[in-house]
Structure 1
Amino acid sequence: MTEQVTGAPGPAARKIAPASTWGAELRTMFTLAWPLVIAQLAQNALTTTDVIMTGWLGPDFLAAGTLATTFLMPFLVGGIGIVSAVAPLVAQARGARDIKAVRRVVRQGMWAAILIAAMLVPFLWQIKPIFAALGQDPAITLMSEQYIQTAVWMLFPALAIIALRSLLSAFDSTRIILLITVGGVVFNAGLNYALIFGNFGFPRLELRGSAVATVLTNALMFGLMLLYVLRHRRFKRFNIMIRFWKPDWPRFRQIFRIGTPIGLTVLAEVGLFTAAALLMGLLGTDEVAAHAVALQSASMAFMVPLGLGIAATVRVGVAYGRTDPEGVRKAGWTAFALGTGFMTLSCIVFLTMGPVIVSWFLDPRSAANANALGLAATFLVVAGFFQIVDGAQVVAAHALRGLSDTKVPMVVAIVGYWLIGLPVAYFLGFELGWRGVGIWLGLAAGLGSVAVVLVARFAMRERLGLMRTMA
């Protein structure tokens, strides 16, 4: 999202007027953010559906699916970060009215998606020896391998979707993205129900059925998005599939040059949670299942400040572009107030309704789930407290991106998550014997340290020279 602001803004960005008062900024921010929030929630619902339905199979299946997707996720989001560089490049081409550049950027973005997926598939197939070296349970590892062997094929459509989504977003056509994503959620839920449990005459594939549903859902979403781009009168003029195999090496390299910092920043955070899941795997199946439930609940709440953060990037970036330091101040702190305000509410919900929430994922009537349910409710208490710092760090990071400040936040994220969060998680979880609770407290320590530094950096933006180029 950084370069969507630092690049040349399209007409939609130029139409966003300065907010003269805090109330006006609040209204503008909310209007801009709510469609983004819904889109993020819909995207996250795809994973939530998988977690819920595999949880119905039992803790072993949920643990295996969680470890498999946790292993896959860092590579997926890293690839998404790289391909998302298509968005600012298309926006710049739109500003220059360069139809040929739009076509070439999107095409090379799809090339990048294909290359990244092709490089990742052989590596991800090595999950079994990797998990064995990490000391994971052999039975759970075997089930995870069965899931990954199928699920890796979703990388090709999932990454290609980012290139098409960037094109649609740059031309303000976000409603179709939301509709396709919501349709994907419904399709994925139905296919999961059919293939996991053998309903409607389909074979009972259990965990592998969830993987098949994930691949087919992403393929369907990509197909619908591509069909829209090729058939809609606004986008068919770009002819993105004409001479698809014709290379444009400068733009191909540019996508990787712009996208890599985005991918590394997100990868640092996702990698921390991957490491936490692997640490949970050393404790036992119930701990992994409980971790999956708590993490999925926390990630759903996280989608709201994430959507607000994206809106903050736009608002701060537009104010920065029009040399309006007061607009930067209002936009950044308004988004921060909305994000942390919502996360305070989610904190209260987690603290007061933990047992109810975890019962949505694991059947409380089954005696086999009793330990996992208790652990998940305990983890949600810790998750409730780190909701506030999690919301603060994501909004602050996006506000700084609006000022073109990305390199230092990337270093802050790497240090905070890997030199503070992970060591604290290991020390509390294993050295002090606090087990899963200690690991979650380590996650909170990492998120909290990053939040403090990034919020302070935004507050000190003028003293640090982040506004210097505005003049």
Structure 2
Amino acid sequence: MNFFSKRFLLESKRLVQLTWPLLVAQLTQMLMGVVDTVMAGHYDALDMAAVALGFSVTIPLMCFLQGIALALPPIISRYQGSRQSDQVAFAAQQAGYLLLVISLIILLLYPAIPTILQWFPMEDGLFQITLDYVRYVLLAMPAFALYQWLRNYCEGLGNTKPTMIITVIGLLFNVVANYCFIYGAGPLPAFGGAGCGIATAIVITVMFISTLVYTHMSRRLAHYALFSVLFRPDFKQMVRTFRLGFPVAMTLLFEVTLFAVVALMLTPFGATTIAAHQIALNFSSLMFMFPLSMGMAVSIRVGFRVGQNNYRQAATAVKSALVIGLCVAVLTATFTVVGKGIIISLYTTDIAVINTASALLIYAALFQFSDAIQVISANTLRGYKDTTAMFILTFFAYWIIGLPAGIILGRTNWITDAPMEAAGFWIGFIIGLSSAAVMLGLRVWVLHRRHASSPSYRLAET
């Protein structure tokens, strides 16, 4: 492939334009979690633990809603590419109805929260704070669902900067709200960790209202007339959207639960191992935002080009994303290895933790290459609406290949003389992610080969 061809440079430019606001938004969203943990921790260690536990309960629900919402960009970007802008509002409204219904179903869990939390043995004080945190966040689920709906509506039409701006505003508002409700301010009492849940619910609502106002007033989006006509709920369209989004939602849940399971499996090896694992995992999650944002951008570009029936340019967009993603992986992996001492010092001064985490960051650097390929390939399949294949392949790679490999290396002496502990699980991550990269990459290659024989593949660039 000629990396300096007009097609390649065009797609690279448009991918970068879409990616950088998404990257800022993703990093800002991660910082919200960091701010919550730090500010609750400064109030009391018990409250910090409650926030961490409450977050572990609510994040799978939020990931599920986000996964369903991620079905919207490839749907409406196709309509945009095929110049069927009159269909965008209908498809978007049906996705909104679907997300609202699911969020209301989740809200029905409210009375069962105490029972759910009793599955996790904890002292009474910790239980009550965690319960209050989860209750407050759960009340914001409809607002979160509608925020994700409007966010993905904007992003699906290639309008990614509003998400960035609103998320940054949300982060700033989160700091202020946390201070007021955790520590108390004026007439407001100090709620401690539970106040972090109140702040989170308010911030989610503010972000939803801000996105709603922008979407309603934006001249750039006026052509698509999202609110001009209120369509009735269409069950068939909602089911089609659900079928497209459900595999994405389950894929997100697979990733979240995989890392949670590994953390639990490391508990027999002590606090030092767990702390080192969390440091490496936290930093890796930060680096993952780069290829993830590129993947989100390529799904939009692929959907747009497929809507144009221009499969050749869709393939070029994927190649551009992979080249850029791997180049960034070289930089982030190098930074991880060279700067691992500085990175770890930001988290801890414990020598034992530093030594263990230093070794784990080497593995974290290695899997950034396969991580970039697999997330870009997975989002390419989302752009092609091939989410069922994405779901099956990622489940197989993570849970059937990666996790068992990690258990064998980390918890047994079947292959090594002694269990490798955390290092064994990180090698399992590398095996699982590499397997996902190969399988998802092959699936993308099959789709491209399938379309290469069609006349539309030879379309000139538009």
Q: TM-score, normalised to structure 2's length? A: 0.80
How far apart are 1:396 and its partner, in Å?
A: 1.9
Native 8 Å contact 1:64 1:140 kept in 2: no
Amino acid at match of 1:300: L
Superposition deviation, residue 102 in structure 1: 4.8
Q: Which amino acid aligns with 1:206?
A: G
Task: Quote the Cα distance in structure 2 between the aligned partners of 1:370 and 1:195.
Answer: 36
Assess if the C-alpha contact under 8 Å between 1:19 and 1:327 holds in 2: no
Whether the aligned pair in 1 keeps the contact of 2:49 and 2:126 (CA below 8 Å) is no
Matched, 1:158 2:165: no
Change (3 A) 1:76 1:278: farther
Q: Match for residue 416 of structure 2?
A: none
- The equivalent residue for 1:294 is 280
Size of the aligned set, in residue pairs, is 444
Output the aligned Cα RMSD. Answer: 3.8
Residue type of the partner of 1:413?
A: T
Which of 368, 378, 395 aligns to 1:414? It is 395
The answer to whether the Cα contact below 8 Å between 1:393 and 1:452 also exists between their aligned partners in 2 is: yes
Contact 1:90 1:105 in 2 (8 A): yes
**Matches of residues 352-431 of structure 1 in structure 2 within 5 Å?**
352-361=338-347, 364=349, 376-431=357-412
CA contact (8 A) 1:400 1:406 kept: yes
Tell me whether 1:332 sits opposite 2:318 in the alignment: yes
Task: For residue 327 of structure 1, report the CA deviation from its aligned partner.
Answer: 4.0
Look up the SS of the partner of 2:140 in the other structure: helix
Range that drifts further, 151-160 or 89-98: 89-98
Overall identity of the aligned pairs, in %: 27
Unaligned runs of 5+ in 2: 414-418, 458-462
Structure 1: gaps of 5 or more residues: 1-17
Counterpart residue identity of residue 114, structure 1: L
1: CA distance between counterparts of 2:288 and 2:323? 15
Show the 5 A alignment for 1:77-156: 77-91=63-77, 95-98=83-86, 102-123=88-109, 133=119, 142=127, 144-156=130-142
Candidates 167, 174, 180, aligned match of 1:188: 174
Deviation at 1:103, TM superposition (A): 4.8
Q: Give the match's secondary structure for 1:240.
A: coil
User: What is the alpha-carbon distance in structure 1 between the residues aligned to residue 389 and residue 170 of structure 2?
Assistant: 36
Q: Alignment partner of 2:227: what SS? A: coil
- Once the two structures are superposed, residues 90-118 of structure 1 have per-residue CA deviations (whole angstroms, 9 ceiling, x without a partner) of 456664343xx655544443332232223
Distance 1:302 1:326 in 2: 28
2:252 to 240, 259, 266: 266
CA distance in 1, matches of 2:357, 2:49: 13
| Aligned match of 2:59 | 73
Structure 2 letter corresponding to 1:157: A
2:203 paired residue number: 217
Residue 17 (structure 2) aligned to one of 31, 37, 40:
31
* Equivalent position of 1:446 in the other structure: 432
Task: Establish whether residue 455 from structure 1 lines up as the match of residue 436 from structure 2.
Answer: no
Alignment TM-score, normalising by the size of structure 1: 0.78
Tell me how far apart the structure 2 counterparts of residues 291 and 322 of structure 1 sit (CA, whole Å). Answer: 46
| Alignment correspondent of 2:227 | 240
Matches within 5 A, 1:270-285: 270-280=256-266
- What SS is found at the alignment partner of 1:205? coil
Q: Which amino acid aligns with 1:96?
A: Q
Structure 1 residues 25 and 87: CA distance shift in structure 2, 3 A: closer
Query: By how many angstroms is 1:165 displaced?
Result: 1.8
Aligned pairs (5 A) from 1:342-353:
342-353=328-339
Residues 107, 241 of structure 1: 8 Å contact kept: no
Question: Distance between the aligned counterparts of 2:325 and 2:384, measured in 1?
Answer: 19
